[in-house]
Amino acid sequence: MKSLKWMVMLMLVSVAAAAQQQRYVQYVNPLIGTAKMGHTFPGATVPFGMVQLSPDTDTIQYIDKGKYNPDVYKYCAGYQYADKSIVGFSHTHFSGTGHSDLGDFLVMPTTGELKLNPGVATVARSGYRSAYRHESETARPGYYSVLLDDYQVKAELTATERTGFHRYTFPASNEAHILLDLVHGIYNYPEKNVWTFVRVENDTLITGYRQTLGWARTRTVYFAMTFSKPFKSYGSVNEKQEMYGGFWRKFNQKQNFPELAGRQLKLYFNFDTKANEAVQVKMALSAVSTAGALHNMQAEIPHWNFDAVAQAASDKWEQELQRIQIEADLTTKQNFYTAMYHAFIAPNVFMDVDGSYRGLDQQVHKAQGFTNYTTFSLWDTYRALHPLYNLVQQQRNNDMVQSMLAHYDQSAVKMLPIWSHYANDNWCMSGYHSVAVLADAFVKGVSTTGIDKALAACVATANKSSYEGIGEYIARGYIPAEKSGTSVSNTLEYAYDDWAIAQLAKKAGNTAVYETFMQREAQYKNVFDKDGFVKRKNALGQFLPNADLLSTHGQGLIEGNSWNYSFFVPHDPAALIQLMGGKKAFVARMDSLFTMYLPDHYFAETEDITREGIIGTYVHGNEPAHHVPYLYNFAGAPWKTQELIRRILPLQYKPTPDGLGGNDDCGQMSAWYIFSALGFYPVAPGSGSYEIGSPIIHHAVLPLENGRQLRITVQHQSEKNIYVKQVLVNGKPIAGTSITHDDLMQGGEIVFVMTDKKTAQQLAKKLN
């Protein structure tokens, strides 16, 4: 592992030296996706870092007066571009999710009258929040800054892996404050805070922790926070009157009292500042202890040189972006590198500098021989994000595989993660797609040790009969509608996952498991009606009547309709084509999908997307259909795939704040862009192959972790030449419409010969 990392470093350094004029961070705009549905955040983070220090622009509650408040949804990442005020800067954020949590440890600089509530967006100066304008806002990888207009304070943020670094430039004031609001959170509600504990260790150092009950049920984050100069005084409020009397009878905890605990704590630190004086703050996190947080801080930023840390953050991003060096038009580079940026924000390192981390069993563990990661939005990311890592983040993906296996070891229910973050599984979405991540990693040789253990974990997870209809699926071959609200999509997803397990078993040489799961993978057929559409089936084996093929509600499908989901057999398109009546019929079905008009009321009920996110009724903004545009390849009409890809790319991805067609989903949408821009896509992770699409780049160089270099050359690239005449792998034309992982990893050159002729091409040989 170490020598591989060294080889990677050497390769990157030499390539970077060669491309020294070319830095890619300049093309990244973190504001992309921060408006509307993208749900990205603009703040400072380093690749896969534990800290995401970013501005939050509102405090809408998840549960308000006992009811779910739908307005909270916009704030999954804490920030909406259209908002006019900033509440403060908190240290943890998801990127692009459709539900949320985090927003820990909000820090806010203010001047003048002390206000301890954030106020409301609609009333100026109603609390400690401040108005701001985008004109005085800067966001680039590893750095964010904004002028807080109400206080004339310039806020700058940067970060290392576990430490947020703030620089606040104040006007002259003897009423300068820095607030630490431990009540604030994303997807907050009155009882979300389980406990908060804070110690003011001295006049520059504060430590503590907060436990919350949210999307993660038992989540505790520890912090150590230090100021660049001593505060002159400080105070606190606890907005929830607590029972116990000893502390509040014997002490005035509101002023300069260093030992605080309770459920609704806020602290404020008072300073005198001269004009243009900068007060800096470092806040490090840990999931293990405050001692761990402090140690993380001392290891990562043992000084106060903000600019050096910001430069280092930028350099870390540059180093990652250099893994794929493209030549393309400016818009494409902006989209592409912002997509890479988004694809490398999460999963997040989840261990202290000493390797300690909190496991799913809430115990402290030491990661031996791997880096522990968290934030596995697996329903989204198994599709293209982890396959992207198997190409350009192999060491990290292997660490993520090890992290998932550790999760399994620590699981009381003996399952691999479903949707996990911060030492919890929140069980969100469907399927058991961690098996696809494991299969793809082992099949592609990215993970090599412990395959039998990995296979056993996959089998145990896929055999968890009591979970989400798995028992029915195993016993009957499908899930009856009575048993699950997503009986149909679950059946389809399990079938694909089972096929992935079979690939892993084949790699492991385990014939028994291979046979079992190849028998299971075929069960997708059981939810296809005679008309070739997936529909709900009851316990008697009868399809329910009156299926609404365009509706995403009540059809036994999660985040999609039957028109889209009926194409979800990514592991066996040939069989799917047969099931749908042959290639001609299949092509006609695909054509309808991409051209029909979706009535408004169907659009309204479709989650997480914009109107622009729909082509026909194909919903790019939600993942189940991500592989679908590539399926024309299997039906002898690859040029249709190529047309679509060239249509989706500019439609769904624009380098503007509202430019993302749907939630970025922890990088999955971005990974789709990256692959598609390069010209190929992993339709079925676990297969080791990629389907050809239509690249929009001119050229790409990928310095691979195995020490080799892959070059992608696109000849005759233009807006008209969207069709692929031929693909050559190291000079040899490919026979069909796919290339293999080995083709990529051997290095050398892949050439796409583009043309404007929509004629049967060499790539269409499969038609007959």
Is the CB of residue 680 less than 8 Å from the CB of residue 702? no
Is there binding between residue 264 and a second copy (CB under 8 A)?
Answer: no
Q: Interface residues for a second copy in 286-305 (CB under 8 A)?
A: 289-291
Is the CB of residue 12 less than 8 Å from the CB of residue 703? yes
Q: Interface residues for a second copy in 157-196 (CB under 8 A)?
A: 189, 191-192, 194-195
Are β-strands 85-86 and 130-131 bridged in parallel, bridged antiparallel, or unpaired? antiparallel
Q: How far is the CB of 103 from a second copy (least distance, A)?
A: 16
Q: How far is the CB of 190 from a second copy (least distance, A)?
A: 9
Is the CB of residue 400 less than 8 Å from the CB of residue 348? no
| Cα(19)–Cα(429) distance, integer angstroms | 42
Is there binding between residue 200 and a second copy (CB under 8 A)?
Answer: yes
Q: How far is the CB of 130 from a second copy (least distance, A)?
A: 30
Q: Which two tokens stand for residue 404?
A: 């998932």
Is there binding between residue 199 and a second copy (CB under 8 A)?
Answer: yes
Out of 5, 133, 217, 274, the only residue in the binding site for a second copy (CB under 8 A) is 217
Select 188 or 642, whichever has its Cβ closest to a second copy. 188
Select 250 or 303, whichever has its Cβ closest to a second copy. 250
User: Taking contact as CB under 8 A, which single stretch among the options 425-433, 522-530, 688-696, 698-706 is the one that binds a second copy?
Assistant: 425-433
Q: How far is the CB of 488 from a second copy (least distance, A)?
A: 18
Is there binding between residue 428 and a second copy (CB under 8 A)?
Answer: yes
Select 237 or 428, whichever has its Cβ closest to a second copy. 428
Q: How far is the CB of 446 from a second copy (least distance, A)?
A: 30
The sign of the torsion formed by the CA atoms of 33, 35, 37, 43 equals positive
Out of 123, 172, 413, 767, the only residue in the binding site for a second copy (CB under 8 A) is 413
Triad 295, 299, 302: Cα angle to 5°:
110
Q: How far is the CB of 577 from a second copy (least distance, A)?
A: 34
Out of 161, 181, 425, 705, the only residue in the binding site for a second copy (CB under 8 A) is 425
Q: How far is the CB of 168 from a second copy (least distance, A)?
A: 26
Q: What length is written for the chain? A: 768
| Cα(294)–Cα(503) distance, integer angstroms | 45
How many other C-beta atoms are found inside a 10 Å radius of the C-beta of residue 127? 18
Is there binding between residue 251 and a second copy (CB under 8 A)?
Answer: yes
Is there binding between residue 213 and a second copy (CB under 8 A)?
Answer: yes
User: Taking contact as CB under 8 A, which single stretch among the options 199-207, 375-383, 633-641, 739-747 is the one that binds a second copy?
Assistant: 199-207
Question: Can you spell out the DSSP letters for 113-179?
Answer: S---S---TTSTTSSS-EE--GGGEEEETTEEEEEETTTTEEEEEEE-SSEEEEEEEE-SEEEEEEE
User: Taking contact as CB under 8 A, which single stretch among the options 37-45, 279-287, 358-366, 433-441 is the one that binds a second copy?
Assistant: 358-366
Helix orientation angle between 434-443 and 487-508, rounded to the nearest 10 degrees: 30
Q: Interface residues for a second copy in 31-70 (CB under 8 A)?
A: 62-63
| Cα(25)–Cα(30) distance, integer angstroms | 10
Q: Interface residues for a second copy in 477-516 (CB under 8 A)?
A: none
Comparing CA positions, the residue from 632, 634, 651 lying closest to residue 758 is: 632
Out of 71, 175, 242, 756, the only residue in the binding site for a second copy (CB under 8 A) is 242
Is there binding between residue 243 and a second copy (CB under 8 A)?
Answer: yes
User: Taking contact as CB under 8 A, which single stretch among the options 205-213, 317-325, 375-383, 745-753 is the one that binds a second copy?
Assistant: 205-213
Is the CB of residue 751 less than 8 Å from the CB of residue 713? yes
Q: Interface residues for a second copy in 652-681 (CB under 8 A)?
A: none
Q: How far is the CB of 639 from a second copy (least distance, A)?
A: 43
Out of 296, 426, 552, 738, the only residue in the binding site for a second copy (CB under 8 A) is 426
Residue 695's contacts (CB-CB under 8 Å, 6 or more residues apart) are: 677, 678, 679, 680, 712, 714, 717, 752
Out of 305, 362, 542, 578, the only residue in the binding site for a second copy (CB under 8 A) is 362
User: Taking contact as CB under 8 A, which single stretch among the options 77-85, 108-116, 423-431, 587-595 is the one that binds a second copy?
Assistant: 423-431
Q: Interface residues for a second copy in 63-102 (CB under 8 A)?
A: 63
Peptide bond before residue 347 is cis, with ω within 30 degrees of 0 = yes
Is there binding between residue 530 and a second copy (CB under 8 A)?
Answer: no
Q: How far is the CB of 195 from a second copy (least distance, A)?
A: 5
Comparing CA positions, the residue from 89, 537, 541, 28 lying closest to residue 317 is: 28
Q: How far is the CB of 197 from a second copy (least distance, A)?
A: 6
Select 23 or 199, whichever has its Cβ closest to a second copy. 199
Residue type, 182: L
Q: How many CA atoms lie within 13 A of 733 on its CB side?
A: 11
Select 76 or 648, whichever has its Cβ closest to a second copy. 76
- Give the 3-state secondary structure of residue 29: coil
| Cα(229)–Cα(443) distance, integer angstroms | 54
Across 179-210, b (16+ Cβ under 10 Å) vs e yields: bbbbbbbbbbbeebbeebbbebbebebbbbbb
Would you call 264 exposed, middle or buried from its count of C-beta atoms within 10 A (0-12, 13-18, 19+)?
middle
Q: Which two tokens stand for residue 148?
A: 């807080």
Select 193 or 503, whichever has its Cβ closest to a second copy. 193
Residue type, 171: P
Out of 17, 20, 244, 600, the only residue in the binding site for a second copy (CB under 8 A) is 244
Q: How far is the CB of 244 from a second copy (least distance, A)?
A: 6
User: Taking contact as CB under 8 A, which single stretch among the options 335-343, 409-417, 559-567, 653-661 is the one that binds a second copy?
Assistant: 409-417
Is the CB of residue 722 less than 8 Å from the CB of residue 694? yes
State the number of binding residues for a second copy (CB under 8 A). Answer: 48
Q: Which two tokens stand for residue 619?
A: 């919903």
Out of 250, 303, 530, 732, the only residue in the binding site for a second copy (CB under 8 A) is 250
| Cα(407)–Cα(566) distance, integer angstroms | 33
Out of 137, 201, 203, 409, the only residue in the binding site for a second copy (CB under 8 A) is 201
Select 411 or 717, whichever has its Cβ closest to a second copy. 411
Is the CB of residue 158 less than 8 Å from the CB of residue 44? yes
Select 295 or 342, whichever has its Cβ closest to a second copy. 295
Out of 2, 249, 303, 530, the only residue in the binding site for a second copy (CB under 8 A) is 249
Is the CB of residue 758 less than 8 Å from the CB of residue 720? no
List residues binding a second copy (CB under 8 A).
62-63, 189, 191-192, 194-195, 197, 199-201, 209, 211, 213-215, 217-218, 242-244, 246-247, 249-252, 257-259, 261, 289-291, 361-364, 411-413, 425-428, 466-468
